[in-house]
Amino acid sequence: MSEKCGCGCGHDHDHDEDVMELETMFLTLDDDTEMECGILGVFEVEGLEGKEYIALLPLEDETVLLYEYKEVGDEIELGFIEEDDEFEKVSNAFYDLYGDEE
């Protein structure tokens, strides 16, 4: 008997293939180069109401990037998380939500 996957979908399958199916977006860096990133998810953080955050995974790296996320009309705006306390809360929330996934 095989074990159910841990994604909560209740199905018997391997999610390794899902990594290749991430929706992507491009980040423009300070030097005007673009970096393609997979979107791991958009999430809210308890205690930081009224804000959403996004977790991105550069396709050529394994470092998760966390940003404040806003939709303004048809545009997406990403903001740096500048306060250490806020970044710690966002990081902890990310790991609570996605820490079991590889």
Q: What is the pLDDT of residues 14-57, one digit of tens each?
A: 544 444 578 999 999 889 999 999 999 999 999 999 999 999 99
Any domain includes 7: no
Residue 11 CB partners (closer than 8 Å, separation 6+): 4, 5
DSSP 67-85: EEEEEETTEEEEE----HH
- Is 84 part of a structural domain of the chain? yes
Residue 16 lies in a domain: no
For residue 83, being part of any structural domain is answered with yes
User: Into how many domains does the chain fold?
Assistant: 1
Q: Is residue 67 part of a domain?
A: yes
Query: Token pair for residue 97?
Result: 């939500």
The reply to whether 43 falls in a domain is: yes
Q: Is 85 part of any domain? A: yes
Torsion of CA 31, 33, 35, 41, to 10 degrees: 60
- Examine the pLDDT at 10 and tell me if it is beyond 60: no
In a domain, 57, yes or no: yes
pTM over 0.85: no
Domain housing 44: 22-98
